[in-house]
């Protein structure tokens, strides 16, 4: 492989990582104040603390500490998490959905990954158990399925329809898997999507609910980007809300919803906090989940506190409310701007098609590269997406992830890019991206026509 020279740009621009705070996103002040006080409850009794912490952070921290057995934040908790915090999460879900949620259905977890890993461990009994997963996929799912010895049953999202999920395709995959002797136990849906950035329409969600109910599949709903929606015509709806609004209750459908503190406007990834809401399972299954959770004893307390804050943020009348809303709005509107800017920039590139970035923190543009580029990649022993991303990094310092890391459809070339670099960095990167891409295309075009012409 060509030696990569990194000297002609000053810094790498990381569009590869879904790691908000390492890329400069500021934490929410109220959340950090409460965490800081809960870590050191002695502060709650000190007058000097009033100069450093908002009154409602002090009140909240006191309430949390008083609700913990032992009245401190250092003991083991229930393997499900602290009851008062599960109640706060359940209340937050009820308020979000307009349908009731119960603390007994909530497991607090060390982030969504730990929760997904646990559910896969419980669902998968052998290689004959299959789990439906979207392609392109977030690699957590394939990793957990392999780790626990199951079989991934991939279904394709339809790029030409805005990465929509088409039930006939899922049905086809389910039937194929069943014919091959697999017992398909569950269907993973990531909404908003990673790496694809789409938000499912409510009609689409209704179809999924009907399908899973009919086929007896558990819905594993990855809803960690519920606070990352950027389009006017779509909203986040939890699968539980969709199911209940169709009139289905716990008897009709088994559903797990995953959420975490890692994304949204909070971006507290390294804190490892999250929840799963488990509905439509018998007490025996919940007992087994509890047993597996108890192997690692309990989720970390700071993460438990943080997910309770995410689901129960400051309200109108709280001293922190305005600051909180302003911080949230600032991050959200900046995400919105970055998404528009990047979508426009990538769409303007020759041979590149880019779906609307509706939600999450990513997009997954498709590249139509000249055949000489593809041949050169082959001769260097790498796939075309890897070849392009290395060239891009070499020339510009822009780091993106090759689409093959997300099981892109065979014969296609994609990259995954985040919207996380700040607006200034994005503004600086776009001219470099355009110049690189033009020069890349010119270098490899040979006698081929312009790729955008080719696609017409």
CB of residue 51 to a second copy, shortest distance in Å: 4
If the CB atoms of residues 55 and 70 are measured against a second copy, the closer one turns out to be 70
Residues in the chain: 456
195 three-class SS: coil
If the CB atoms of residues 74 and 411 are measured against a second copy, the closer one turns out to be 74
State the Cα–Cα distance between residues 404 and 400, nearest whole angstrom: 12
Specify the DSSP class assigned to residue 359.
B
Element (H, E) at 106: strand 106-109
**What DSSP letter does each residue of 125-183 carry, written as one string?**
-STTEEEEEEES--HHHHHHHHHTT-EEEEEE-BGGGTTB--HHHHHHHHHHHHHTT-E
Residue whose entry in the numeric block shows the structure tokens 């594993």: 220
If the CB atoms of residues 292 and 451 are measured against a second copy, the closer one turns out to be 292
- Residue 219's DSSP bridge partners are 187, 255
If the CB atoms of residues 272 and 366 are measured against a second copy, the closer one turns out to be 272
CB of residue 383 to a second copy, shortest distance in Å: 21
Residues that bind a second copy (CB under 8 A): 17, 19-24, 27, 29, 32-33, 35-37, 39-40, 42-43, 46, 48-49, 51-52, 69-70, 72-77, 110-111, 113-114, 117, 121, 140, 143-144, 147, 262, 267-273, 292, 295-303
State the Cα–Cα distance between residues 209 and 63, nearest whole angstrom: 38
Q: Which of 89, 366, 343, 399 is nearest to 230 (CA)?
A: 343
293 three-class SS: helix
CB of residue 270 to a second copy, shortest distance in Å: 4
Q: What is the largest CA-CA distance in the chain?
A: 76
CB of residue 1 to a second copy, shortest distance in Å: 21
State the Cα–Cα distance between residues 217 and 209, nearest whole angstrom: 9
CB 237 within 8 Å of CB 202: yes
CB of residue 189 to a second copy, shortest distance in Å: 20
CB of residue 149 to a second copy, shortest distance in Å: 9
CB of residue 106 to a second copy, shortest distance in Å: 17
Cα-atom radius of gyration of the chain, to the nearest Å?
23
If the CB atoms of residues 299 and 384 are measured against a second copy, the closer one turns out to be 299
CB of residue 269 to a second copy, shortest distance in Å: 4
If the CB atoms of residues 24 and 100 are measured against a second copy, the closer one turns out to be 24
């Amino acid at each position: 492989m060509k030696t990569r020279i990194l000297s002609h740009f000053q810094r790498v621009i990381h569009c590869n990582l879904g790691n908000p705070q390492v890329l400069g996103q500021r934490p929410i002040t109220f959340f950090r104040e409460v965490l800081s006080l809960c870590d050191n409850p002695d502060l709650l009794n000190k007058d000097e603390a009033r100069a450093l912490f908002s009154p409602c952070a002090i009140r909240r921290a006191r309430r949390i500490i008083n609700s913990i057995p032992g009245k401190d934040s250092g003991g083991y908790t229930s393997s499900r998490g602290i009851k008062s915090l599960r109640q706060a999460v359940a209340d937050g879900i009820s308020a979000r959905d307009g349908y009731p949620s119960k603390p007994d259905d909530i497991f607090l977890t060390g982030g969504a990954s730990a929760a997904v890993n646990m559910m896969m461990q419980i669902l998968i009994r052998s290689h004959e158990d299959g789990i439906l997963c979207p392609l392109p996929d977030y690699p957590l799912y394939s990793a957990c399925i392999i780790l626990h010895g199951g079989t991934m049953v991939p279904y394709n999202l339809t790029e030409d329809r805005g990465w929509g999920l088409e039930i006939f395709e899922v049905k086809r995959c389910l039937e194929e898997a069943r014919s091959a002797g697999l017992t398909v136990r569950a269907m993973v849906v990531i909404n908003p999507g990673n790496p694809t950035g789409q938000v499912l329409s409510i009609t689409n969600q209704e179809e999924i609910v009907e399908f899973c109910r009919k086929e007896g599949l558990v819905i594993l709903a990855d809803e960690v980007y519920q606070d990352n929606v950027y389009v006017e015509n779509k909203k986040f709806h939890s699968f539980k809300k969709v199911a209940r609004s169709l009139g289905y209750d716990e008897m009709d459908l088994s559903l797990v919803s995953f959420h975490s503190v890692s994304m949204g406007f909070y971006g507290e990834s390294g804190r490892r906090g999250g929840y799963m809401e488990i509905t439509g399972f018998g007490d025996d299954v919940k007992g087994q989940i509890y047993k597996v959770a108890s192997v690692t004893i309990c989720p970390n307390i700071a993460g438990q506190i943080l997910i309770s804050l995410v689901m129960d943020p400051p309200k109108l009348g709280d001293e922190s409310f305005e600051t909180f809303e302003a911080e949230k709005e600032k991050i959200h509107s900046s995400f919105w701007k970055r998404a528009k800017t990047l979508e426009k920039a990538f769409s303007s590139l020759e041979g590149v098609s880019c779906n609307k970035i509706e939600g999450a923190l990513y997009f997954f543009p498709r590249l139509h590269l000249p055949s000489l580029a593809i041949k050169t990649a082959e001769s260097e022993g790498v796939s075309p997406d890897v070849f392009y991303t290395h060239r891009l990094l070499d020339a510009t310092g822009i780091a993106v992830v090759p689409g093959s890391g997300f099981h892109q459809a065979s014969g296609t070339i994609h990259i995954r890019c985040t919207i996380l670099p700040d607006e200034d960095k994005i503004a600086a990167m776009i001219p470099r991206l355009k110049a690189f891409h033009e020069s890349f295309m010119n270098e490899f075009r040979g006698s081929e026509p312009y790729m955008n012409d080719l696609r017409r």
